[in-house]
Amino acid sequence: MASILRVRSPISLSNGTQGLLTVYWRPGTGGGSTADATDCLARVRAFLNSSAAAIHVSTTYTFTAACDVFEDSTGTLTGSFTGTGPASVPGTATGDCCPMATAWLVRWPTSTVVNGRRLQGRTFLSTPNEGNNTATGLPNPATAVTVAAAGVAMLTGGATASFPVVWNRPVPVGDPRIPAGRAGTSAAITTCTVDTTKWAVQRNRRF
């Protein structure tokens, strides 16, 4: 049972489509604080800014300053803090844009096991350019290394003791997947990797 703070980054893509990137954090202050919200927003921006070469110039990430806080085991909203909203991040990759459904697959592993599986988060980082698409149709390994390094840098070294987590959401009693229900949990992210064996395909714009 722990408080988790939600950072949201709305996305504007080249064809007018909207998306949303969400990162959950364990705030450095119990229950969260304005300082935690400001720090977490800044660290998500730093990750995206350092990854700009992986993102087409027509795609821009902005930020929602209001960061809601939830109790991870129940999903109950317990508070909200408005941090200092950072500047938007436009991509810097030029040339042709890959299809809108295409994204870098960023993985966020943890050391926690839930129901026999290691808890792991994913971020679909859109939208790549054709210059990052190799001759064999795979993600550019050099750019993938840059994005992974940016993700690792986000994990520590902020202005507060906050750290990003993967949230395994609670399942209510009566849900057909788990009729007895299940409490949620959150776990610290241990590192960041970027898949270079395939592009991810987005089925929706909620990342």
User: Per residue in 120-143, pLDDT tens?
Assistant: 999 999 999 999 999 999 999 999
Cβ count within 10 A of residue 203 = 7
pLDDT value of residue 204:
54
pLDDT value of residue 73:
95
- Give the largest CA-CA distance in the chain: 52
Domain ranges of the chain: 3-201
**Which residues in the chain come in under a pLDDT of 70?**
14, 203-207
pLDDT value of residue 203:
67
pLDDT value of residue 100:
83
